[in-house]
Amino acid sequence: MEIFIVFVFILGYLAITLEHSIKIDKLVPSLLMMALAWAGIAFGLDGFEQWFDSHNSDLMSLETFEGVKYLASGEMTEAYQEFHDHRLHLMEGTLLHHFGKTCEILIFLIGAMTIVEIIDHFHGFSTIKNFIRTNKKRTLLWIIAILAFILSAIIDNLTATIVLITILRKILSEKKDRIWFAGIIIIAANAGGAWSPIGDVTTTMLWMGDKVSAMKLFEYLILPSLVCMLVPTFIASFMKPFKGNFDLPEDEGDINTRASLMLYLGLGMIIFVPIFKTVTHLPPYVGMMLSLSIVALFAETISVRQFKMSFVGVVNKDTTKKYVSPEPKGHHESPTFRALTKIEMPSILFFLGILMTVAALESLGLVFEFGESVQKSMHDDIFVMLLGAGSAVIDNVPLVAASMGMFNAEIDNHIWHFIAYAAGTGGSMLIIGSAAGVVAMGMEKISFFWYLKNITWLALVGYLAGAAVYLLVA
């Protein structure tokens, strides 16, 4: 049955990798292989000889049953029934454990996504455009790169990429100029997400899995991540596409008087989450729910007040007709409700499928055994470097999920921080290697081969430079 489960994982993973070729959203194979993998465990439950204890991170041997399973009447023997019930209880407990840990991550992500959508509802991100007061491409390059690095650490690299490319569209009218800036945004956003526990799904997984702490992640990775961003940006600043000037667009004025308030409040409450965890020692999703409730409370209050003020002083001058107050357009749709309808649920379900599939492989001890064989055949640092390069081709979420089951190291061990860096920044080497790259590819219709020719080498130089810095200071 182990062979069947591994076969399902390989086929599902291949379908995810070839998503754009086979025209099937990666959500579908992700959920399908999760269900089939756990069904395989259920059907083969009595035949497994080992099981990975997730609570103690230890591979344990299971006793086999050699006695007669059935009586002549077809009923199970009492001994076999007890044997089967024990294994069933073990599977249910393991499944519940992994589902609980996975849901902690998913609820955390839903909260963060909702806060970002509430900010966007009030056009809060338009405030960022006010920071750009130049008509020089080289200066714009540095502003955009620094913004991507900082913003991705707060609202994650995917959202930061969407926000900054949207702003670029309002500043640069020529697509041939924007795609070069988009390439640097991908590198900077992935680098910025690597040193923050809320900057990338993989760092969030490591943080919530008690592999890294927020302060140590910042301490060990801020410098390597900064180098990973600075080196490609510095090289790019001497390249032809980033020389010369451009015409600044006319000032559009304030879109929403509450935009700045909601931007700073939302970002501040997201930053508050790691602080809340450090002080209370509660899981991060609890702090995220607190932050979401505060942001939502402000959003609802502001929306209600704006609605009331919009209809103050309205007088019906036609005394022959009964006055009927006009129905405000969409007043029944609160900012929180609208935000919840816009979050990326396909991504949430994709993460559910991937993480639970890897959990199935981990439960059978397959991931742990693979990790042991890797450790015997090569140095851990070399493996992590290869993992980072692999994340450019294969999604980094399952790679990190698998690595969490390979190594039995204490919190804040060198290996966990290096995995966070490599998986977070290595995906920049191909445009399909990260969520930031994929969304930029879709928004600006960037060719895979154009990126490979013009940006990949910059991303590789940055990745190697940051890794060298990490290995020197670690």
Q: Is 55 found in the same domain as 108?
A: no
With pLDDT > 90 as the criterion, what percentage of the chain qualifies? 22
The verdict on residue 73 lying in a domain is no
The verdict on residue 137 lying in a domain is yes
The verdict on residue 324 lying in a domain is no
pLDDT band at 32; cut points 50, 70, 90: very high
Mean pLDDT for 450-455 is: 91
Q: Is 108 found in the same domain as 8?
A: no
Domain that holds residue 291: 100-249+256-311+330-473
Q: How far apart are the first and last CA of the chain?
A: 42
* Predicted pLDDT at 86: 76
Q: Which amino acid is at 460?
A: L
Q: Is 277 found in the same domain as 416?
A: yes
The verdict on residue 173 lying in a domain is yes
The verdict on residue 70 lying in a domain is no
For residues 116 and 126, what is the distance between their CA atoms, to the nearest angstrom? 13
Mean pLDDT for 455-460 is: 93
Q: Is 391 found in the same domain as 297?
A: yes
How many domains does the chain divide into? 2
Compare 151 and 50 and report the one with higher pLDDT: 151
Tell me: the pLDDT tens digits for 307-343? 554 444 444 545 444 434 444 444 456 888 888 888 8
The verdict on residue 322 lying in a domain is no
Q: Is 106 found in the same domain as 93?
A: no
**Residue 404: in which H helix or E strand, if any?**
helix 396-406
Q: Is 412 found in the same domain as 306?
A: yes
Q: At which residue do the structure tokens 């130049």 appear?
A: 134
The answer to whether the beta carbons of residues 23 and 17 sit under 8 Å apart is no
For residues 367 and 91, what is the distance between their CA atoms, to the nearest angstrom? 17
* Predicted pLDDT at 313: 46
The overall pTM is greater than 0.85: no
For residues 161 and 71, what is the distance between their CA atoms, to the nearest angstrom? 64
pLDDT band at 360; cut points 50, 70, 90: confident
The verdict on residue 86 lying in a domain is yes
With pLDDT > 70 as the criterion, what percentage of the chain qualifies? 86
Sign of the C-alpha dihedral, residues 123, 132, 160, 156?
A: negative
Tell me: the pLDDT tens digits for 165-210? 888 888 887 888 889 999 999 999 999 999 999 888 889 889 988 8
For residues 330 and 311, what is the distance between their CA atoms, to the nearest angstrom? 14
Q: Is 392 found in the same domain as 265?
A: yes
Q: Is 149 found in the same domain as 104?
A: yes
Q: Is 282 found in the same domain as 299?
A: yes
The answer to whether the beta carbons of residues 52 and 362 sit under 8 Å apart is yes
Q: Is 422 found in the same domain as 388?
A: yes
Q: Is 83 found in the same domain as 209?
A: no
The answer to whether the beta carbons of residues 367 and 358 sit under 8 Å apart is yes
Dihedrals phi, psi of 59, to nearest 5 degrees:
-90, 125
The verdict on residue 401 lying in a domain is yes
Dihedrals phi, psi of 50, to nearest 5 degrees:
-145, 160
